[in-house]
Structure 1
Amino acid sequence: MALDHEPEAFDVFAVLELLSREAPPSHYEELVERARRSGADPTTVERLSEATRLALGIHSAHGRRQQREAGLSALVDTARDLTLPYDLDTLLKLIARRTRLLLALDMSYISFHEPGADYSYVRAADGHATALTVGFRVPIKSGLGVDVSTNAAPIWTPDYLADERIRHSSEIDRVVRAEGLRAVMAVPLRQGVRALGVLYAADRNPRHFTPDEIALMSSLADLAAVAIEKTRLLDQTHAEVIELELDGSRAKATLAAARRLNDTASRLTDLVLEGSDLRTVVATASEALECGLVVRGPSGQVLADSGPMPALDHDEVLKAALDAHAGRAPVLLDGGTWVAPVLAGSEDVGSLLLHPSGPLADNGERMLRLVAQTTAVLLLLQRSTAVAESQVRDLLFDDLLAVPQRPAQQLGERARRLGIDLDQPHVVVVARPEGGSQGRAVVWASSYALRTGGLKSVLSGRIVLFVPGTDAGAAARAVSAELSPLLGNPVTVGSAGPAVGAPAVGRVYQEAVRCLDALTSLNGSGSTSSVQELGFLGVLLSDNHDVEGFVDSVIGPVLSYDAQRFTDLTRTLEAYFASGSSPTYAAESLHVHPNTVSRRLERITELLGADWQKPGRALEVQLALRLQRTRQTLSEQRASGRQRRDGPPGHREPGGENSGGVGD
C-alpha cells in the first residue's frame, strides 16, 4: 500500500511524521520495507526499524489511553444513569446491559446470594440465549463465584470449560455449554464488608482480559453495588413510608372509632341520667351499632329489643349466655350473633344479644361491652327504684288490709301518689305455692304487681296481690299461669272481688282467703278459683252473702223470661225437681199435659244451657230456686206487715199524723 504522503528521506523524521498523523501500524512497516528496497545502508534501516518500534509502542499506548478514556467516559455515563431512581429489578437489568456494552462482550448477568442457602440465583441477565434465565440457581461451591466470594477479588478465565483451575459443576458447565460461552470474568458486588452478589461478563470467543478491562469491570461493580444498596434503601424507605401511611390511616380510623365510642357512651349515659327506659336505650344502641339488639333477663325473658334479629335456638343461646357469664366476655354464635354478659359485679343481671349487619369492627367488642355495662347500670337503677317503690307500695297494701283501717281519704291519697286509683275496681288474689323457692315467688310477685299497676304482700307464706280488674277468676288463672312454670310446682290460687274503695279491700281479701281454704278443703290444691266460680259455696264464703247475684247468675234467664212473657218456667222447674226429675209427675202436680212440661224443659235448656241437669249444676239450680222462693215469701210477708200497720186504704189510726202518738 502506497503512502498518501511519502517521506522524502528514510530517517526518524519520517517516522515522527507518521506518528503525528496517527497513521495505522501498516504504514510504519511499509516505511521500513521501502527503505530496504531502496538500498539504504543497514545502519539507516536498523535505526529506522528501532524508531518504528518505538513509534508503534507510542501508538499502542495512545490507543490504550484513548480506549481507557472511552471506558472511563462510558463508566461516568453509567454512573450518571445509576443515580436515577429505579426499582431494584430495573436497576439490575440496566447494570447487566451496561456491563455487556462497556466491554463489548456477548453476555452479562448478576447473581445474588441466598442467605442460609448453598446457592445463589440470577436476578438479571443480558445477551443470554435460553439456558441462563432469571431465577436460575447457581451453586456457590463451584464455578468462578466460589473464588470471588472467598477472595473478594475479580476472577477471570479466557476459556471457562478448558480451564482446569476452576472447580467445575456439571450444572454450571451444562449452562455454559448451552450458551456457548468461552471467556468469563466475575467481580464481587460488595457494600463495605457485606457481599451482595457477583457481576459476570462473558464472551462466546476465547479472550484474554486486559488489566484495564478488569479494572473497568471492578469499578463498574463498585458503582453497581452502591446503586443497588441505594435502591434497596430507597425501596425500604418507600415501604416504611407506605407502612407509616397505613399506620396513620389506621390511627385515624382508630381515633374516629374512639370518638364514635365516646359519643355513643356519652349518649347512652345521658339517656340513663335522663331516666329513659330500657327500650329507648336499646334502640339508641342498635342505631349506633347498626345491628339488632335484644336484652334478656336472667331467666331468658326478653326485656327489650330493637332491630332485625334472626331466629335463634333457645338452648344454644342459653349455653352461650352461660359461657359468656363464666368467661366475662362476649361469645360468638355460628350465625354471627354475639352474646354478651350483663353483669353487676359478679351478679348475673341478664344477657345482651347483638346481630351486626356485617363483620363487627375492631372496636365492636368494646362497643358491645359498653352497651352491656350501660344496660347493667340501667337495670340496677330500675331495680333499686323498684325496690324502694315496692317497699312503699307494700306498706300501703299492709295498711289497706289492717284492722282497724286507717282513714279511707288518707289511704286513697297515698294510693294516688303511687298511681293507684282505689275508686276503680280491683280484685284480690291469694296464691299459695305448693313447692319451689319462696324467695323466687316473692321476687316474681313484686315484678308482677309493678307490671299490672297493683300491690303485693306476703302473709302467712301466701302471696297476696291487689290488681286492677273486675274478673277475679281470670286474675287467678293469670297468676297461676305465670307463677307455676317459674317455680316448677303447682300453685293454689283463690280470688275475690271486685273491690271499690279502701274499706272494701280488707273484706275482699278475707273472701279470697276463705276461697283458698275452701279449695284446700275440697282437695283442690294446685287449682284456681274465685268466690263467684264456687257457686253456692261462694255465697256461703262471701261476707255480703250476695244472694241476689247468685240467683241471677244461676236462673236469671228463666226469671227474666217468665217476667217478660208471663210464663211458668220457674214453677215448672220447681215441680220438676220436686217430682224427682220426672216430667210425667211434674205434669200431674202442675195439672198440665206431659208434652207441655217437655216443651217448657226444652225452653229452659235453651236459656240455661245443656248442662243444667248435671249433678253439680242441678244442685246450684235447686239452691237458687229455694233462695228465690224464700226471697219471694219474705217479700210478701214484709208487704203484708206494712198493710196491717197502715190499715185499709183511707183508714187512719187514732193519734195519727197530727195526734203526736207513737206507732208500734
Structure 2
Amino acid sequence: MPTPDSWLRLLADERPAAELEDFRRDQLTSASGDRRDRVAREADRAFAIRRRLDARRRHAAELTVLNDLARRLTTLRDSGEVLSEVAAQARRLLDVDVAYLMLRRADGTLRIEVVDGSMGSVLRGIELADGSGLGGRVVRTGEPMWSEHYLRDTRVEHVAAVDAAAESEQLGGILGVPLIRGDEAIGVLLAADRRPRSFHGGEVELLAALASHAAVALHNAGLFEQHRRLVDELRAANATLRRADELRERLTAAVIGGGGYAEIAAELTRALGGPVTVFGADHEVLAGAPDERVPEVGEPGAVLAPVELRSGYAGCLVARGSAAEDAEAARLLGLGATSVAVVITSEQSRAEAEMRTRGEFVSALLSPGTDEAGLRRRARSAGISIAEVRTVAVFDPGDAEPRQTAALASRVAAEFGGWSAEHTGHLVALLPGADPERVAEWLRRLDLPCAVGVSACSGGVHAIRTAHESARQTATVLLALARARDCARDAELGIYRSLFGQAGRDELRVFIDDTVGPLLAHDRDRRRDLATTLRTYLEQSRHHARTCELLHVHANTLYQRLERVDRLLGPDWREPRRALEVQLALRLHDVLSALRARG
C-alpha cells in the first residue's frame, strides 16, 4: 500500500508527470474499496502539488528571464535597439507570433515603431488617433486590455487601416499593456497570435512587467542619446573653435607680416576648401577671380560677409561653390572681414598720412609767395615731378559728402599716375603726362559725385598755380550753373569764362542791368519774383500751358504777370533777338548770385 511518503519522494525527486501517472495507475489497479478511494485522493493531492510546483518553477523561470532582460535593457544606449529587444523578448516570453510597440507622439497620436515576427511591413508606421483602437484605449485608460479575436471584438473602436493590417497578418488574440513613465502612458506593448487566444492573469502581469522595464530602458536610452548629442555638439563646437582660432592666428600673422587682401583670401580659401573673393566698397575685386561679382540678396550657392568700418560699409567677402557649402562659412568669413577691415584701416591711415604730407606740399605749392627752390626740394622728397604736370583737376563737392569726392580724386590720380590732396575745401589732382581733353573724357564716363574743373598746365610752379585757379573757377561756375555732378575744361565755358575776372564780371553786370535791370529792381523792392516767371516762360519756349503747370498758377495769373513784365521791360522783349538777350541776362544774373553766395 502506498503511503504519503511515497508520493512525497516522487515529488521531491521531481519525477516526470508520466511517472507519477504510472504510479497512480499501478496503485489504483492493485487497490479496492475504501483503499482505492484513499489512493485516488492522495494522487489528486500529489498532482495538485505537482501543478503548483510546476507553476512556481515556471514563474521563477519567467522572473529569471525577466530580470536578465532588465539587466540587458540597461546596457542598451539606443532607443531603436531597446524597442527591437523588447519586441523580440515579448514574443519569447508569451510564446506569441507577433509583438509590436506603439509610441505616443507629441500630438497624441500613436505610431507603430517596431514589429517583430510580422510576415510583411504593413504594420510598421501605422498611426492611430488619440484614444482610437485597442492601443488607444490602453493609453487612455492606463490599463491592460486583451481581445480573444480582435477583428470580431465589438468592444474595440476599429480603424480601417489597422483592421486591414491585422487581416493581412492573420492576427487573432491580442494583448496590450501600457508603457508607463511616471504618471503618463508613453506607448503600448502588444503581443498577438495568429489564432484566437485568451490571455490569463500571469501572462498579463508578465507582459506588464516587461513593459515597465521597457519604459525605464527607453527613458535611460533617451537620456544617453541626449547626452551623446550634447557631447557631439560640444565636440563639434570645440572643433569649430579650434578651427576658427587657427584661422584667426594665420590671418593675424598674414596681416602683421604685411600681407594684404590676396593673403587674406588665400587663407580663407585654404580654410574653406573653395574660392573666396574680396570686394571693395564699390564692389571692385580686391582679391580673387577678376570676373567675380557681388551676389544678389538671397542668391543660392553664395555666402557673403560685409566689411564694416566706423565710417560705414567698406566692402565684403564672398564664398562660392564648395566654400559656400561649409557649415562655418559665414563665421570664418566674418573673421576674414575683420582682417580686411584692419588692412583697409591701415591703408587709410597710410593714405591719410601721405595725404597730409602731400596736402601740406600742395598748400605750399598753390600759395603765392612760397620759395620755389624750397618747393622743388620738397617735391623731389615727396616723389612729385612738378615740371611734368600737364593737367590740373579740381574736385569741388559743394554741399555734397566730401568722402566720395576724395575717393574720386585718389582714383583719378591713380589712373593717370599723378597725386591728389585736399586744399582749401576742395580736392586737387596734379597729373603728369595726361592732356586735359583725355582726363575730361575719362571723367565724363563716370557717375560723378561732385563738380570737376579741368585745366591745361605747362609744368612748373607758376603754371600749376595758374591752372589750379582756372580749374577751381571752372568747378565753381559749374556749381553756380547747377551742374554739381558734371565735368568741364576751362576752355569749354564760353561766355561764362568772363566770370573768372573782375573786369569780365563788371561788364556782365552792365549787360544785365541794361537788359533786365527794371525787372530785377521791381522784384527786389516789392519782394516779388517776376524774374522766375519770365525765366520759366522763356525756357518753355513761351508755351503758356507748360509754364502754368511748372509754376502752379492759373493762366489768368500768368497773363497778368507777363503784362507787368511788358510795362517794366517794354513790349519788344517778346521779339526773338531781345528775348534771347533777356534769357541770357537772367541766366547770368542767377550765376553771379550763386557765385556771390559761395563767396
User: TM-score, length-normalised on structure 2?
Assistant: 0.59
Q: 1:30 aligns with which of 25, 33, 40?
A: 25
- Structure 1 CA distance for aligned equivalents of residues 463 and 139 of structure 2: 112
User: What aligned pairs does 1:205-604 form with structure 2 within 5 A after superposition?
Assistant: 205-264=195-254, 267=256, 271=258, 281-289=260-268, 291=276, 293=278, 305=286, 307-310=288-291, 345=311, 352=315, 358-359=323-324, 361-368=330-337, 370-372=339-341, 374-376=343-345, 378-379=347-348, 381-396=350-365, 398=367, 416-417=380-381, 493=455, 525-526=491-492
Contact 2:317-2:336 within 8 A present in 1 as well: no
Change (3 A) 1:201 1:117: same
- Structure 1 CA distance for aligned equivalents of residues 29 and 242 of structure 2: 91
State the 1:223 CA deviation: 2.1
In structure 2, the residue matched to 1:93 is: 84
In structure 2, the residue matched to 1:202 is: 192
- Aligned partner of 1:47: which letter? R
- Which is worse superposed, 136-145 or 223-232? 136-145
- Aligned partner of 1:141: which letter? G
- Aligned partner of 1:310: which letter? D
State the 1:247 CA deviation: 1.8
In structure 2, the residue matched to 1:646 is: none
Change (3 A) 1:111 1:49: same
- Aligned partner of 1:54: which letter? R
In structure 2, the residue matched to 1:44 is: 35
Q: What is the CA deviation profile of residues 185-210 of structure 1, one whole-angstrom value per residue up to 9, with x for unaligned ones?
A: 22222223232322222334444444
- Structure 1 CA distance for aligned equivalents of residues 203 and 303 of structure 2: 74
Q: What is the CA deviation profile of residues 517-575 of structure 1, one whole-angstrom value per residue up to 9, with x for unaligned ones?
A: xxxxxxx94399xxxxxxxxxxxxxxxxxxxxxxxxxxxxxxxxxxxxxxxxxxxxxxx
Contact 2:361-2:379 within 8 A present in 1 as well: no
State the 1:99 CA deviation: 1.9
Change (3 A) 1:438 1:478: farther
- Structure 1 CA distance for aligned equivalents of residues 340 and 113 of structure 2: 57
User: What aligned pairs does 1:599-618 form with structure 2 within 5 A after superposition?
Assistant: none
Change (3 A) 1:447 1:438: farther
In structure 1, the residue matched to 2:99 is: 108
Task: Determine whether 1:53 maps to 2:44.
Answer: yes
In structure 1, the residue matched to 2:545 is: none
- Structure 1 CA distance for aligned equivalents of residues 242 and 190 of structure 2: 49
State the 1:310 CA deviation: 0.6
- Structure 1 CA distance for aligned equivalents of residues 101 and 301 of structure 2: 55
- Structure 2 CA distance for aligned equivalents of residues 432 and 231 of structure 1: 77
- Structure 1 CA distance for aligned equivalents of residues 410 and 57 of structure 2: 110
Contact 1:490-1:526 within 8 A present in 2 as well: no
5+ residue gaps, structure 2:
270-275, 471-489, 495-599
- Structure 2 CA distance for aligned equivalents of residues 84 and 260 of structure 1: 46
- Structure 2 CA distance for aligned equivalents of residues 260 and 483 of structure 1: 41
Q: What is the CA deviation profile of residues 460-511 of structure 1, one whole-angstrom value per residue up to 9, with x for unaligned ones?
A: xxx9999878xxxx75656665677788999785655x77xxxxx6699999
Change (3 A) 1:420 1:52: closer
In structure 1, the residue matched to 2:63 is: 72
- Aligned partner of 2:104: which letter? H
Change (3 A) 1:51 1:257: same
- Which is worse superposed, 68-77 or 20-29? 20-29
In structure 1, the residue matched to 2:126 is: 136
In structure 1, the residue matched to 2:173 is: 183
- Aligned partner of 1:30: which letter? R
Change (3 A) 1:375 1:76: closer
Secondary structure at 1:363's aligned position in 2? helix
- Aligned partner of 1:74: which letter? V
- Structure 2 CA distance for aligned equivalents of residues 339 and 16 of structure 1: 91
Contact 1:398-1:457 within 8 A present in 2 as well: no
- Structure 2 CA distance for aligned equivalents of residues 20 and 241 of structure 1: 58
- Aligned partner of 1:247: which letter? A
State the 1:232 CA deviation: 2.3
- Structure 1 CA distance for aligned equivalents of residues 422 and 236 of structure 2: 65
Contact 2:103-2:111 within 8 A present in 1 as well: yes
- State the identity %: 24
Change (3 A) 1:263 1:142: same
State the 1:226 CA deviation: 2.2
Change (3 A) 1:259 1:186: same
User: What aligned pairs does 1:155-166 form with structure 2 within 5 A after superposition?
Assistant: 155-161=145-151, 165-166=155-156
- Aligned partner of 1:185: which letter? L
State the 1:130 CA deviation: 4.0
Change (3 A) 1:213 1:310: same
State the 1:34 CA deviation: 1.4
State the 1:93 CA deviation: 2.3
Secondary structure at 1:196's aligned position in 2? strand
Change (3 A) 1:222 1:333: closer
State the 1:251 CA deviation: 2.2
- Structure 1 CA distance for aligned equivalents of residues 384 and 224 of structure 2: 81
- Aligned partner of 2:290: which letter? M
- Structure 2 CA distance for aligned equivalents of residues 157 and 94 of structure 1: 24
Secondary structure at 1:141's aligned position in 2? coil
Contact 1:332-1:339 within 8 A present in 2 as well: no
CA RMSD, Structure 1 to Structure 2 (Å)? 5.2
- Which is worse superposed, 351-360 or 364-373? 351-360
Change (3 A) 1:124 1:28: farther
- Structure 2 CA distance for aligned equivalents of residues 476 and 420 of structure 1: 19
- Structure 1 CA distance for aligned equivalents of residues 165 and 385 of structure 2: 106
- Structure 1 CA distance for aligned equivalents of residues 49 and 139 of structure 2: 39
Change (3 A) 1:162 1:260: same
Contact 2:126-2:161 within 8 A present in 1 as well: no
Contact 2:392-2:431 within 8 A present in 1 as well: no
Change (3 A) 1:429 1:367: closer
5+ residue gaps, structure 1:
1-8, 272-279, 321-329, 500-504, 515-523, 529-664
- Structure 1 CA distance for aligned equivalents of residues 121 and 417 of structure 2: 92
Secondary structure at 1:56's aligned position in 2? helix
